[in-house]
Amino acid sequence: MARLWYSLPYPSAHQPLPSARMALEPWTLFLDSCASGGQRGRFDILLRRPRWRVWQQGGQTFLAEGGNAPKTSNDTLISVLRAIAREEQERIRDLDAFPVAYPFAEGFAGFFSYDWGRQMLGIPGPDDPTLPTAALAWYDSAYLVDHLRREAGFWGHADDLLALRAEMAEPSDREETILGDSDVQPLWSAELYRSAFAKVQAYLRAGDVYQLNLAQAFQANWSGTPWQLYRALRQRNPAPFAAFFALPEATLLSLSPERLVSLCDGQLQARPIKGTRRRDPDPLRDRARAAELCASPKDRAENVMIVDLLRNDLGRVAELGSVRVSQFCALESFPAVHHLVSSVEARLHPDCDPWDVLLSCLPGGSVTGAPKRHAVELLQSLEAKPRGFYCGSLGYVDARGRMDWNILIRSLSYRAGQVQYWGGGGIVMDSETDAEYQESLDKVAFITATLKAGRDTVPSATAFAKRRAAETGQ
């Protein structure tokens, strides 16, 4: 039976789409723009119940079709993904009925960890044992929302739509109370951070690297569900590349502001972030901080280095002469911080595919350093533990050749009541220890504040809609 496109009402409130029960279902993936506006905050995509599941753990690749038991493969992860994609694309006959404006109809979606990217660079090291190094699934139905055109729809079969609508109607009207008061523990003391920073400065003075992105890890307990935590974080810090991914072993929660790379109609785009200032509640001081960031030679120098690195990454998979910098050090402001953001664009070479692009770009240059490979080698010896998911990438490759991937910063992993997250920043020759240490805290301050909150409430969809109607007079 052919799939159809079913137009649905635009959601009445800017609430996350899945119900609490959906969010507990393994392999539910919600790509959430947080209705943040513009092309980068335009679409929400809810994916469930995949046809294929593929993951890598302990150096072994596993695959499972539908609800079948997993099998192992001797092929590389990328080889398995390409083989399944070819098989599925031979089956597809109905994509002509799918609206071309929407970014995802069918294809692979999931995440690659930082450690997977490190392995692809040929750098050995331990992996995070609590998560796969990569996990992707082939989804053949999707619920999508277009916040720019204020439209929504479902791509799939009628029975799947009926089941989805029934489940999405499940949240109760009461407000859910979330118990916080978590004891957030950094894995490094300030003294240990300063010691690692001094080593980075020595590498910089020796000319081993030009920039190194040093990060520290935090851990905490969380007594609620991961979906409750995601909703609370989303209220504090909506971001255009947010995501919620429920895996069998753990759950990934991302409030990322950064795009690693996208591909649409043969056009590649990377949007590196380098340069940060914490927001100030006073408007005058906040504007002063933004102006100081824009004028900072140190922050602009960091951005230049990473732009050059990404020009090289894209150049390996681009048509000759097509790489260009379309935006340089533009100020973009988010609820918690101001950032300097650049944009590097290129045309995909006809001999390359989306997987080639990811192999060239992972791990992202803005979260490693320059030159990338040696920066990753040095970080292995400097940081307290494997990064795991942190600074990896989450996104999709659509069957039509489109893709969009974030960088997993401002992100957490949840497993059996335990939460882990990281904060870091780029260090160059004129970086100052205390300022860089504070920046690593500022970037994740909204996460720490949410976990430490003694009591917080997240409104149900109906309660949120009533509140929004009262505010707007509708």
Q: Map 377-402 to HEC letters.
A: HHHHHHCCCCCCCCCCEEEEEECCCC
Phi (first) and psi of residue 52, to 5 degrees: -135, 145
Which range marks the domain in which residue 292 is found?
A: 4-472
Rounded CA-CA distance 125/376 in Å is 11
DSSP output for 126-150: ---TTS-SEEEEEE--EEEEETTTT
Catalytic residue of the set 176, 258, 302, 377: 258
Alpha helices in 215-318 (DSSP H): 226-236, 283-295, 297-315
Vertex 406, ends 140 and 27: CA angle to 5°? 35
Say which CATH number the domain at 169 has: 3.60.120.10
- Mark whether 274 is an active-site residue: yes
- Mark whether 258 is an active-site residue: yes
Q: Which residues of the chain have pLDDT under 70?
A: 13-16, 36-39, 171-181, 454-474
pLDDT of residue 422: 98
Task: Provide the number of structural domains found in the chain.
Answer: 1
Model confidence pLDDT, tens digit, residues 57-98? 999 999 999 989 999 999 999 999 999 999 999 989 888 889
Catalytic residue of the set 71, 170, 176, 274: 274
pLDDT of residue 169: 77
pLDDT of residue 363: 98
